[in-house]
Amino acid sequence: MGRLWEARHKPALMRLRDRFQVTALYDQVLRRAEIEAAQLGCAAVEGLTALIERSDVDVVYLLTPQWFGLHPIEIACACRKPVYCALPLASEPEELEALAALVEASGIAFMPEFARRFYPATLRLRELLATSLGAPRLILGQNRLFGFDRYGQPGPTNQIAPAPLMIDPGSYLLDWCCFLFQAEPSKVQGFEGTIIPSESEKGTGPDFESFVAEFANGAMVQISFGRYDRTIWGEASRFLPQPGFQVYAERGAAWLELPERIQWSDAEGTHEERLPLEPTVGDVLNEQFHRLVQGEPSLAPTIRDALSVARRVSDLRQSQREHRMIVRPPRL
C-alpha cells in the first residue's frame, strides 16, 4: 500500500482491466491490506511467500519500502514470476549486483520504476532530440523537494524512512540524464551541504546536493536538488522560479518543467507545449511493463539500468567523501 499505490498504480490498473487484474495484496499492516482487498474484491495475504506462490498471481508489484526490503524479488525469481519494482535500488550496489545476477539467471522480466523517463515532456524532448534539435550536449537543472513527500515527483520511499537525497531524487535524476544521452557517464563528482543546520540535527543528512557528470563524447550534466524548508522560508515557493531543466543540443535548446511543460528553440523559431497528462504516467508505466512481460517491444528499463545507476551513485558518494572527481569508464 502507500501513496504510490493510491495515486499512480491503483488508478492505472483499474483503467487497464483488459490487461491486469489485482488478485492478492500484502502489507506489513494486515488490516490495511484487508481493507484495500475488500474494496477491490481480491485476497489479503498474510505472508510474502504465500502471495507470490499463488497460482492466480502472474506478476509481482513492489511499490512501498517495508520490512522485507528486496527479499520478494528473490522469491519471485524462485517462482519465475516477473517483477515491477518501485523501491529505490541505488543504495546498496553490492546487494544489487547479486540480485541482478539472480534475476538474469532466472530469466524473469524485471522493470525498475524510472518514472521520469515516461513523463510527457521527456518523451516529447526525445522526439525533438531525434529530429530538429539534434543530440544533447549539456543539461543544467534543479529539483526541489518539500519535506519528505517522495511520492509526489516521483520517488517511491515513504515519510517513515526517508531516503538520502542522493538516492531519491538523485539516482532518479541521474537515470533521467543517462536516458536522454543514451549513455553512461565516464566521470562524476558529487557535492553536498547543510543549508539549514537545525534540519541536520534530526538525522536527515544534507538538505542540498548536486552532481556533475561528464560523458565520453564531451557532453556534460550539472544537476542540483534540495529540500525546501517551509518552517524557515514559509510560502516563498509562490514567487521562486519553477524548478526545471535546460537542455542544450547540437541545433537548439529546450526548457522543461516536468512532467508536462516544454519550451524549445530551433531553426524554425521558439515553441512551447503544455502536453496532456492522459494517458497518465501510471498508465504508460504499466503498459510498458505489460509489453515487457508479453515479450513485445517495450521501452521498459531493466535491472541493468538500475545497476548502472547504483554504481554511479556509489561513485558520487566516494566523490563526496574524497572531494574529487571519480573517473570510471562505463562497464558493459
Whether the predicted pLDDT of 210 surpasses 50: yes
pLDDT digits (tens, 9 = 90+) for 249-266: 999 999 999 999 999 999
Q: pLDDT grade, residue 233 (50/70/90)?
A: confident
Cβ–Cβ under 8 Å, residues 75 and 57? no
Q: Measured between alpha carbons, how far is 181 from 139 in angstroms, rounded to an integer?
A: 10
User: Span 202-221, mean pLDDT?
Assistant: 89
Q: Where in the sequence of the chain do the CATH 3.30.360.10 domains occur?
A: 116-280+301-327
User: Span 58-87, mean pLDDT?
Assistant: 95
Q: Measured between alpha carbons, how far is 83 from 12 in angstroms, rounded to an integer?
A: 17
Helices (H), 18-170: 30-40, 48-52, 71-79, 93-106, 120-130
In this prediction, residue 198 carries a pLDDT of 59
Cα-Cα-Cα-Cα dihedral of 12, 14, 17, 21, to 10°?
Answer: 100
Residues of the chain above pLDDT 90, percent: 78
Which of the two residues, 293 and 233, has the higher pLDDT score?
293
Lowest mean pLDDT segment, chosen from 50-54, 85-89, 193-197, 211-215: 193-197
CATH topology of domain 3-115: Rossmann fold (3.40.50)
Q: Where in the sequence of the chain do the CATH 3.40.50.720 domains occur?
A: 3-115
The CATH classification number of 116-280+301-327 equals: 3.30.360.10
Q: pLDDT grade, residue 204 (50/70/90)?
A: low
Whether the predicted pLDDT of 193 surpasses 50: yes
Q: Is the dihedral of CA 66, 71, 77, 80 positive or negative?
A: negative
User: Span 180-198, mean pLDDT?
Assistant: 91
What residues pair up with 191 in beta bridges, in sequence order? 210
pLDDT digits (tens, 9 = 90+) for 115-170: 999 999 999 999 999 999 999 999 999 998 875 544 333 344 443 456 889 999 99
Closest CA to 244 of 235, 233, 228, 256: 256
User: Span 40-60, mean pLDDT?
Assistant: 96
Backbone angles phi, psi at 61, to 5 degrees: -110, 130
In this prediction, residue 152 carries a pLDDT of 36
Mean pLDDT of the chain: 91
